[in-house]
Structure 1
Amino acid sequence: MQETTATRGPLTAPNAAGLVLGFVNTRATGNGDPERLGDAHALRAWAEEAVIDLGDWVLSDADAASARDLRQALVTILLAHVDVQEPAGALAEAEQRLRQAAALHPLQPVITADGCEFISAQQGIPGMFGTIFAAIADIAQRNMWSRMKMCRNLPCHVGFFDKTRNSSGLYCSPSCSSQVTMRAYRERQKAGQGTPNTSTMKH
């Protein structure tokens, strides 16, 4: 069944967001989450979990490396949505990488009385990448792409969908927001302790 705006509230993440976030959140984090796309076996396990049918496609570690490369480009984009600046030129490089990948994995429209959606025109690993691009296209056409973000709290950096009304969310949870606030407070305290108190200095 095709999802429509009538089946969800204005601040509910579209179904496609789950696939994209599930993909970017396969990377290892400072919170102890392991790398989940380390090799061909791990990639197939994730695809099965995401309900992406790879059929009899024989996966290789090179496919897993391509998946990690695509994932990193998406991570860079989602970090930009919370104003986290990667090294100079990283954002432009990520955008170029995504354009190149999208050109290799074309989509085809499926038009019905309810609307239009895109699906991958390929099978196997190319089809998996195409399915991810189709999900991104779905999110973008709902004007929700800017709500796809990475938590600004280092080392968390978990992908999340921002449900705030003004799309101002920067953290995946109140816990991460509190950690950042406390960290900033401690840094201010530490900086203050290192500043001489001129009112008590002898002249």
Structure 2
Amino acid sequence: MSNAAPESSKPSPRTVAPTVETVLAFVNTRADGSGRRELFEDGRSFAAWLAERDEFDGESVVTDADAAVARELRDALVTVLLAHSGDEEGLGEPLLHAERHLRRVGSLYPLAAVVTADGAELASPQTGVPGAFGTVLAAVTTLAQGSDWGRIKACRNPPCHFGFFDRTRNGAGLYCSTGCGSQVSMRKHRQRQRHGSGAPSKA
């Protein structure tokens, strides 16, 4: 994964928690114009995606309306992850709208505390599609309470916005891959040439 930090910011090995995998699997289901297809296009495609994931109940009846809810939840999460990357276009009103949407979703799919002798965790008390949404929210909430939440980001290269876990030592990663980082650098270079200025612009 690439980043915009100095060369001294070398990647460091980090263990990715299952909650990270759950969140990234959910947000990385959108089409981006570079070959990735929309996995929540309708009820059938959403059901197929759920069936492939062990943490969800793949036997649920899924409708097109469920797929629409999934897209809205996913897009709100992507906006939040873009904020973690410092993407200026996603800040302000877009971020406020995403956060308001997530609060509404949280009230529709409440979570329950599961306490054992080994500790406690959040889980959805619901089944089916509501349980799937609750599982995503439980993973997000667990991450948000820990130090890794800010490292779950969305690539700043539009229209990629692919979710990734920033493994850099100082948490300065901006792009999901070196290819996306190179594309942004090239666009900035061409923009400076068009404007006849050699001054660098912000990422």
TM-score between the two structures when normalised by the length of structure 2: 0.84
1:170 and 2:174 are equivalent in the alignment: yes
Instruction: Give, as a single letter, the amino acid of the residue that structure 2 aligns with 1:74.
Output: L
Alignment of 1:80-119 (within 5 A): 80-84=83-87, 85-86=89-90, 89-119=93-123
**Partners of 1:181 and 1:12 in 2: how far apart?**
30
**Partners of 2:90 and 2:76 in 1: how far apart?**
11
Instruction: Give, as a single letter, the amino acid of the residue that structure 2 aligns with 1:142.
Output: G
Equivalent residue number for residue 35 of structure 1: 38
Is the 2:114–2:122 Cα contact (8 Å) retained in structure 1? yes
2:57 counterpart SS class: coil
**Partners of 1:111 and 1:129 in 2: how far apart?**
21
Counting matched residue pairs gives 184
1:181 and 2:185 are equivalent in the alignment: yes
Equivalent residue number for residue 19 of structure 1: 22
Q: Let me know the Cα RMSD of the aligned residues.
A: 1.9
2:90 counterpart SS class: coil
**Partners of 1:182 and 1:93 in 2: how far apart?**
31
**Matched residues, percent identical?**
51
Cα offset for 1:191? 2.6
Instruction: Give, as a single letter, the amino acid of the residue that structure 1 aligns with 2:41.
Output: G
Instruction: Tell which has more relative contact order, 1 or 2 (C-alpha 8 A, sep 6+).
Output: 2
**Partners of 1:191 and 1:93 in 2: how far apart?**
34
1:98 counterpart SS class: helix
Q: Structure 1: any 5+ residue segments left out of the alignment? A: 1-8, 194-203
Aligned pair partner of 1:141 in 124, 139, 145: 145
Aligned pair partner of 1:122 in 105, 110, 126: 126
Larger radius of gyration: 1
Instruction: Give, as a single letter, the amino acid of the residue that structure 1 aligns with 2:77.
Output: L
TM-score between the two structures when normalised by the length of structure 1: 0.84
Equivalent residue number for residue 46 of structure 1: 49
Equivalent residue number for residue 65 of structure 2: 62
Cα offset for 1:185? 1.8
